[in-house]
Structures are given as C-alpha cells and as structure tokens.
Amino acid sequence: MANSGLQLLGFTMAALGWVGLIAATALPQWQISSYAGDNIITSQALYKGLWMDCVSQSTGLISCKSYDSFLALSGFIQATRALMVISLVLSFLAMMVAAMGMKCTRCGGDDKVKKARIAMTGGIIFIVAGLVALVACSWYGHQIVTDFYDPRVATNTKYEFGSAIFIGWAGSALVILGGGLLSCSCPVTESKAGYRTPRSYPKTNSAKEYV
C-alpha cells in the first residue's frame, strides 16, 4: 500500500497539472502566426486559441475578439474545446475522490483498504483526464503541422505552436504522472498468513504420564 508521502506527491502533481490545463484552456496562444516566409509583416502577431483570437501590435497593444459562432469553427477546434472541458471536469472529480482516499485525510472512514481503493479510483480518473487532454492537445498540434506544410495554405496565413499548447502538454503529463502515483495505492487485503495458530497434535501412545 502506498505511503502518505507518495500519495501527497501524486496529488500535488495532479493538482498542478489541473491548474496548467485550466491555464492552457483559457489562454489564446494555442497557435501563433509564423514568420517562416520572406515577405511577412512583423509589426503584428496573430494568436488563435479555443475561445478567441488576438492581434498583438509591435507597440504592445493587444486586442482580442471572441468567436461569434461555435458551429462556424473548424471541427478540430470544437473537438479540442469539448475534450479540454471534459478533462477539466474529470480532473476536478478526481481531486475530490482522491482527497477522500488519502491517508492524511479523515474522509472515507478509518478502513485502510477502503481508503486505498478510493485513492486508487481517484488516480485512475486522473489518468483518464490526462489522456483526454493529451489527445486534445496532440490533435490540435497535428492540425497546426498539417496546415503549415500544406502547399495550398498561403505563407502569410500559416501558424506555429503557441505557448498554450505546450502548457497543455505539460499539464497533461503532470496529471497522468500524479494519477499513476495515486494508483499505487492498490488495496491489499490484510492477510493473516504471517500468523498461524498453533496446531494441536494428538498425543501418541508413547506419551507417559508421571505421577
């Protein structure tokens, strides 16, 4: 059964990963305008995220605009939105479940095996949430790479990886690793194999009683 320090480390890593996923979902820098071409204006930078796109001027002025229509967005943006939201909800649920099963908390009763099962369940939910976010970020990144190398896309409309997608990858990794550590709380039933009751042997005929 995992010790309290391992559980606390896993919970902390998963919680930090959850915060990173929140930041990645909210930030608009999922993809930034590319400067790979020769005749590209560098006085402004374009950012695109899951909820809005922004324009950063060389003077430091940034203006953002939310997407007007959800259905008018590309399919991979809609899917990434949904997957990231699902990941955040699952991570929050996993935090509640794992907190009940940790040894350092009083929730979930005093049964060590029961608390270990609860903590392991929270770890499994964390792993699922991390995988969902990892799929979302990887899918979005694959689309960026596909559009970048597509000759049909104009050079001045190509984009590269933004900081938010890297934060999403890092957050997914932390959530998965933290969930893995929490999953080490695999319940082990207390075995009494180490203690054996003394066996009574019948007296043999050779036993003699002395008065």
Query: Rounded to an integer, what distance in angstroms lies between the CA atom of residue 132 and that of residue 134?
Result: 5
Domain locations along the chain? 4-183
- pTM of this structure: 0.79
Q: What is the DSSP letter of 71?
A: T
φ/ψ (deg, to 5) at 45: -120, 140
Local confidence pLDDT in tens for the 211 residues of the chain: 457 778 888 899 999 999 999 999 999 889 988 876 554 556 678 888 899 888 887 777 888 888 887 777 888 888 999 999 999 999 999 999 988 877 766 665 667 788 888 888 999 999 999 999 999 999 999 999 998 888 887 777 788 898 999 999 999 999 999 999 988 866 555 444 444 445 555 555 544 444 4
6 class by beta-carbon count within 10 Å (0-12 exposed, 13-18 middle, 19+ buried): middle
Q: Does domain 4-183 have CATH number 1.20.140.150?
A: yes
